[in-house]
């Protein structure tokens, strides 16, 4: 499953729950909770851990955008400003089970103050600059596992399209190398410290076009389905990797890599598909063209079978993540054309809705408890970080005031 940008969950009908050995509410018991802002009008939640701690970014009262950590207090949630590394803006992208947060922050260095952002690790109340490697000026953190290993990328400058894959581990920064080309970047890391990413395999091709795994100091090309291109999106704790690959007939298909075997996951009738996440049971989710031109649907793939998750009444749906209970989150168009976050479980797609007065919503992550985070937006563009959770856990269903 995705270690960064989080996981996903929800509890299902009573019979299905008992089959899974779970107990919990029906799908339609999910409610939405606004997490507020840091004083501005916009915020978004990016990730959530199994303790219910949420990270993301929010506009402040002075118009900057700062990384935040939201935690549930005894009576209401509290959004904490994590600050910056000296510049104007920061963003938190992942959090592990120990409450360690990673992201990117402006440093306020150089003549152009906000063109040299660095990766950060926030822990025990302090934002730490993870720095850069190999003479690079810019770095970003993408994911962190429960051992505190952080993966990310470095670049020569803010505008450079070429990147360097990086691992930060116990204060040591490691350049993961490349596949022979000019660029590489990391996507995800599992509990074993195995890292997946994408890179170029020739200096003549600056754009990333191949998928790789880095394991115990060695970077390896994962191969393709017969074409020239491939990319990864996630790795689970069983070393199963998903993404997409070009076939010999120049189509792009969702792909599973495991122990040297490459599996074409197929499509829903069209020519294109892409896998975005995999859980520790080997269940894969992604998005595929259907047989109807212009329509794409989220899918579940498991044990050789691909299942169309359908939509919320509109033309299209797109998967975001899957948890170890097989619960899938994503977004779908509704009959009126707006995008709404959804939860899919045991053949049923639930519209997670929006905050009162808003028109659209987007989910970004889900934890093992079935708590989902993302954002709800108005037609004016204002958005708020939100948490969807079972009603027996819900503390508020309306936009809350900003925490003190």
pTM of the full structure:
0.88
What's the chain look like in SS3?
A: CCCCCCECCCCCCHHHHHHHCCCCCCHHHEEEEECCCEEEEEEEEEEECCCCCEEEEEEECCCCEEEEEEEECCCCEEEEEEECCCCCCEEEEEECCCCCEEEEECCCCCCCCCCCCEEEEEECCEEEECCCCCCCCEEEEEEECCCCCEEEEEECCCCCCCEEEEEEECCEEEECCCCCCCCEEEEEECCCCCEEEEECCCCCCCCCCEEEEEECCEEEECCCEEEEEEEEEEECCCCCEEEEEEECCCCEEEEEEECCEEEECCCEEEEEEEEEEECCCCCEEEEEEECCCCCEEEEEEECCEEEECCCEEEEEEEEEEECCCCCEEEEEEECCCCEEEEEEECCEEEECCCCCCCCEEEEEEECCCCCEEEEEECCCCCEEEEEEEEHHHCCCCCCCCCCC
**What confidence score (pLDDT) does residue 153 get?**
93
- pLDDT, tens only, 129-154: 999 987 788 999 999 999 999 999 99
What percent of the chain is predicted at pLDDT more than 70? 86
Q: Which of 11-20, 27-36, 389-398 has the lowest mean pLDDT?
A: 11-20
pLDDT of 75 > 70? The answer is yes
**What confidence score (pLDDT) does residue 42 get?**
96
Q: Could you tell me which CATH number the domain at 14-76+153-169+179-393 has?
A: 2.130.10
């Amino acid at each position: 499953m995705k270690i960064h940008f989080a996981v996903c969950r929800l509890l299902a009908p009573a019979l299905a729950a008992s089959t899974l050995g779970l107990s919990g509410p029906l799908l339609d018991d999910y409610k939405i909770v606004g997490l507020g802002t840091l004083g501005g009008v916009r915020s978004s939640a990016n990730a959530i851990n199994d303790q219910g701690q949420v990270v993301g970014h929010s506009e402040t009262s002075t118009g900057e955008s700062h990384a935040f950590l939201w935690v549930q207090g005894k009576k209401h949630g509290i959004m904490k400003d994590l600050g910056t590394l000296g510049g104007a803006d920061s963003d938190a992208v992942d959090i592990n089970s120990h409450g360690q947060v990673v992201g990117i922050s402006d440093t306020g260095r150089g003549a152009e103050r906000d063109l040299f952002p660095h990766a950060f690790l926030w822990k025990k109340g302090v934002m730490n600059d993870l720095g850069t490697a190999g003479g690079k000026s810019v770095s970003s953190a993408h994911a962190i596992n429960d051992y505190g290993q952080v993966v990310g990328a470095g670049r020569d400058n803010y505008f450079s399209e070429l990147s360097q894959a990086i691992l930060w581990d116990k204060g040591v920064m490691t350049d993961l190398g490349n596949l022979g080309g000019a660029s590489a970047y990391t996507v995800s890391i599992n509990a074993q410290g195995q890292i997946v990413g994408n890179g170029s395999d020739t200096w003549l091709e600056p754009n990333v076009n191949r998928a790789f795994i880095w394991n115990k100091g060695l970077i390896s090309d994962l191969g393709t389905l017969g074409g020239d291109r491939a990319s990864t999106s996630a790795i689970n704790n069983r070393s199963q990797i998903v993404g997409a690959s070009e076939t010999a007939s120049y189509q792009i298909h969702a792909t599973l890599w495991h122990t040297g075997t490459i599996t074409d996951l197929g499509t829903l009738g069209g020519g294109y598909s892409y896998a975005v996440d995999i859980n520790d049971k080997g269940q894969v989710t992604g998005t595929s063209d259907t047989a109807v031109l212009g329509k794409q649907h989220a899918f579940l793939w498991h044990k050789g079978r691909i299942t169309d998750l359908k939509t919320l009444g509109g033309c299209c749906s797109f998967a975001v993540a899957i948890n170890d209970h097989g619960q899938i989150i994503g977004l779908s168009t509704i009959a009126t054309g707006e995008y709404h976050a959804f939860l899919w479980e045991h053949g049923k797609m639930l519209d997670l809705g929006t905050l009162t007065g808003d028109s659209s919503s987007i989910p970004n992550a889900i934890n093992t408890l079935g708590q989902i985070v993302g954002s709800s937006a108005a037609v004016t563009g204002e958005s708020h970080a939100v948490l969807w959770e079972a009603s027996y856990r819900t503390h508020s269903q309306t936009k809350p005031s900003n925490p003190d």
